Amino acid sequence: MNVDLVVVGAGFFGLTVAERCANELGLRVVVIDKRDHIGGNAYSSVEPETGIEVHRYGAHLFHTSNKVVWDYVNTFTSFTDYRHRVYTTHKGEVFPLPINLGTINQFFHSAYSPTEARALISEQAAEGAVATVANLEDKAVALIGRPLYEAFIRDYTAKQWQTDPRELPAEVISRLPVRYNYDNRYFSDTYEGLPVDGYTAWIERMADHPNIEVRLSTDFFDLDQEINIRDTVGTVPVVYTGPVDRYFDYSEGPLSWRTLDFEEEVVQTGDYQGTPVMNYADTDVEYTRIHEFKHFHPERDYPADKTVIMREYSRFAEDADEPYYPVNTAVDRERLLRYRERIAEQPNVIFGGRLGTYQYLDMHMAIGAALSTFENKLRPLFATDAPA
Ligand code: FDA
């Protein structure tokens, strides 16, 4: 095969590596993906009836405080000035998230100042605190008190995990931010926005290089391919961004994931919910949230009488499901350690991305990690092993 590097997975990690190696080092790179499109989970496409861009694997909001990543991504796309905000419906009433002074005052029908609200939540947190934190509920109550926990965290978490929070480990949450002002911007990063002409246009530009060949609908583990990509391991370096347990045929046991189900609908109304994302905090609504995609791009000329919504349901992933969020139980962590030992025995394969490292990565983290992999591993590797 006339190639210097094989990249498995055309998500942000794989494409960043491919783009850097092609542009900076002049390497010939083959990128394969088992899906029929590039972009991994950030892929978006246009819903044909409405012309509205839909993020196919759930809403993707770009945000980062990493200047290197921001400068890098801006070489492929410019960004709108979109600022993400989320609301939640609880008992028939809509509240702003993350929990802030607006949420607190609306919930307690009050007009607390920041100092008064802080004192109230500290008092409620102290009242609810137990000597030994045994589960997620104990921890959440100790952080924000029982009333806010029961309204905004308990049932939503139960829906996300299909598990009573009293049976979930405390470490599922590390903190529950409460803002004692009226700032309801969801992210607090320095840079934020959405790609002006969509995710797919951005991602296509990353792959648009004569030295990069992208092969779609090509599974690394499919031994019947025209050219067996797996045979390349041992002949050229491979960057692998698929699931780490799958690479080793699950020899140390499968790692557990949560998955999402999406239910898309075109609704014959100009505006369904008035905001991009509405969470549903209570268990009487089965889905966790509804996305309404036209609100991500108010600057676009979208139809005034139609909209696209997507209901999101969360559950544990089974064999054939898309892995989305690592569950990360104690058993998973033990297995991951054993997989890492096996990775160390594979000098010709670099594992990266969220599936290859079994960790949730935002887009900017996946891109940042790929830039580091390029600088710290691939550049030195090819400096000593220059392609013919
Ligand atoms: P990614 O999963 O994108 O790509 C891996 C690719 O490998 C896939 O295309 C897969 O098909 C391919 N592959 C796997 N096995 C293979 C095999 N055997 N052979 C060939 N190809 C194979 N981030 C953010 O910054 N803001 C946000 O709002 C969101 N929102 C969000 C919502 C949801 C529901 C999810 C699951 C994730 C997000 N993200 C996010 C995270 C974002 O999607 C993530 O950072 C990137 O997808 C990571 O890129 P990777 O390249 O690591 O993986």
The pLDDT tens digits for 233-280 are 668 899 999 999 999 999 999 999 989 999 999 999 999 999 999 999
Sheet with 93-97, edge to edge strand ranges:
93-97, 86-90, 277-280, 289-292, 307-316, 257-267, 325-326
**Predicted pLDDT at 187:** 94
Percent of the chain scoring above 70 in pLDDT: 96
258 is catalytic: yes
What is the ipTM, given to two decimal places? 0.99
pLDDT at 385 over 60: no
**Predicted pLDDT at 231:** 66
Residues with CB under 6 A from ligand 1: 8-14, 32-35, 40-42, 57-62, 219-221, 241-242, 260, 324, 353-355, 361-364, 366
| Poorest-pLDDT segment among 105-114, 124-133, 168-177 | 168-177
312 is catalytic: yes
**Which position among 271, 360, 375, 385 bears the catalytic label?**
360
Residues 151-157: what's their mean pLDDT?
94
Place of tokens 């200047």: 67
CA of 366 to the centre of ligand 1 (A): 9
**Which position among 35, 289, 335, 354 bears the catalytic label?**
289
Reported as a pLDDT band with limits 50, 70 and 90, residue 386 is low
Cα-based distances in Å from 350 to 1, 6, 51: 19, 10, 39
CA of 378 to the centre of ligand 1 (A): 21
CA of 354 to the centre of ligand 1 (A): 7
d(CA 335, CA 325): 16
- Write out the two tokens for 264: 């898309």
Domain edges within the chain: 5-43+193-254+328-382, 97-167
| Poorest-pLDDT segment among 26-40, 45-59, 249-263, 311-325 | 311-325
Reported as a pLDDT band with limits 50, 70 and 90, residue 346 is confident
Q: Which DSSP state fits 198?
A: -
User: Between 1.10.3110, 3.40.50, 3.90.1720, 1.10.3470, what CATH number should domain 97-167 receive?
Assistant: 1.10.3110
Reported as a pLDDT band with limits 50, 70 and 90, residue 322 is confident
Mean pLDDT of the chain: 93
Q: Which DSSP state fits 305?
A: S
Q: Which of 189, 241, 364 to mutate to test the pocket of ligand 1 (most atoms within 8 A of CB)?
A: 241
Indicate the class that CATH gives domain 5-43+193-254+328-382. Answer: alpha beta
| Poorest-pLDDT segment among 38-52, 92-106, 176-190, 310-324 | 310-324
CA of 12 to the centre of ligand 1 (A): 7
Q: Which of 41, 206, 239, 322 to mutate to test the pocket of ligand 1 (most atoms within 8 A of CB)?
A: 41
Q: Tell me whether the CATH fold assigned to 5-43+193-254+328-382 matches the one assigned to 97-167.
A: no
pLDDT at 117 over 60: yes
> How far does Cα 35 stand from its chain's mean position?
18
175 is catalytic: yes
Residues 309-319: what's their mean pLDDT?
91
Render pLDDT for 286-297 as a digit per residue (tens, 0 to 9): 999 999 999 999
**Predicted pLDDT at 176:** 87
pLDDT at 75 over 90: yes
CA of 360 to the centre of ligand 1 (A): 9
